[in-house]
Amino acid sequence: MRKTVDVLVERLGGLAPQVAMVLGSGLGTLVDQVEDPIRVAYADLPEFIESGVTGHAGELVAGQLAGKPVIMLSGRAHYYEKGNAAAMRPALETLAGIGVTTLILTNSAGSLREDMPPGSVMLIEDHINFSGSNPLIGEPSDKRFVGLTEAYDGDLRAQFLKAAEAADIELHSGVYMWFSGPTFETPAEIRMARTFGADAVGMSTVPEAILGRFLGLRVGACSVITNLAAGMTGGELSHDETKDMAPIGGARLAKILRGLAGALE
């Protein structure tokens, strides 16, 4: 991993961002707002990540956002691609290795609430890991016993809400439930998820949140709502729907993230 860190430090040319954002589908507009961007393809970073999902660019972009240095991962690796819950570990270890201390995660998700329709944005307050896996399985040290009472940093959540208010954008809050994918959930699973206390469902983010806390990063996360979950509308779900709807909520979340970046110390 040291080699990857050294390569990235050299490519950044003295830029030392402490805030990193993992961008899900629909957030390409935020990458375009980065000033003086430094673009590095994942393929150019040894032992980094590969993203095989349409809608994920597969590049690292660093520069200034709202006057603050940031680094963005435009695209992520998912558990369902190769069955590896720790697929994002090399990338997050690299970010921690160059001095990142704050990790902002984003995703596309299905809503379990009628009052949170497609195009909405949800601040993740907590999560339910329903995948049956964990990115720290196999970690030999006692560091694997990570406390997740405050998985999503309270101060960051408060700053998300302030940034949303300043941008005049409604920001819902709720619990995100991680399913392994790649298939969408069944109506019965959605009824179960609602009973368990979930507000949104998706196929990412939870492994990264766990890894982020393992690495000592403070973590914040938001979901772009792309659809109502299975059984709520009578229609079938599809990845095309996700790609079509993600830019709508993504534009709203991009405004929030820009305001958040400007406010972070």
Q: Give the pairing type, strands 102-111 and 19-23.
A: parallel
Spell 172-192 as b/e; 16+ CB within 10 A means b.
bebbbbbbebeebbeeebbee
**pLDDT in tens for each of the 265 residues of the chain?**
688 998 999 999 999 999 999 998 778 789 999 999 999 999 999 888 876 555 546 899 999 999 999 999 998 999 999 999 999 999 999 999 999 999 999 999 999 999 999 999 999 999 999 999 999 999 999 999 999 999 999 999 999 999 999 999 999 999 999 999 999 999 999 999 999 999 999 999 999 999 999 999 999 999 999 998 887 776 776 667 667 778 889 999 999 999 999 998 7
- State the Cα–Cα distance between residues 105 and 208, nearest whole angstrom: 8
- State the Cα–Cα distance between residues 62 and 18, nearest whole angstrom: 11
What's the pLDDT score for residue 56?
A: 47
User: 31 with 117: CB under 8 angstroms?
Assistant: no
Residue with tokens 């809503």, as numbered in its chain: 111
- Cβ-Cβ contacts under 8 Å for 247 (sequence gap 6 or more): 26, 28, 29
- State the Cα–Cα distance between residues 202 and 176, nearest whole angstrom: 7
Residue type, 112: L
Q: Give the pairing type, strands 59-65 and 35-41.
A: antiparallel
- State the Cα–Cα distance between residues 108 and 240, nearest whole angstrom: 12
The model's pTM is: 0.93
Q: What is the CA radius of gyration of the chain?
A: 17
What's the pLDDT score for residue 232?
A: 79
**Secondary structure of 64-100 in the HEC alphabet?**
EECCEEEEEEECCCCHHHHCCCCCCHHHHHHHHHCCC
Query: For the chain, which domains are there?
Result: 2-263 (3.40.50.1580)
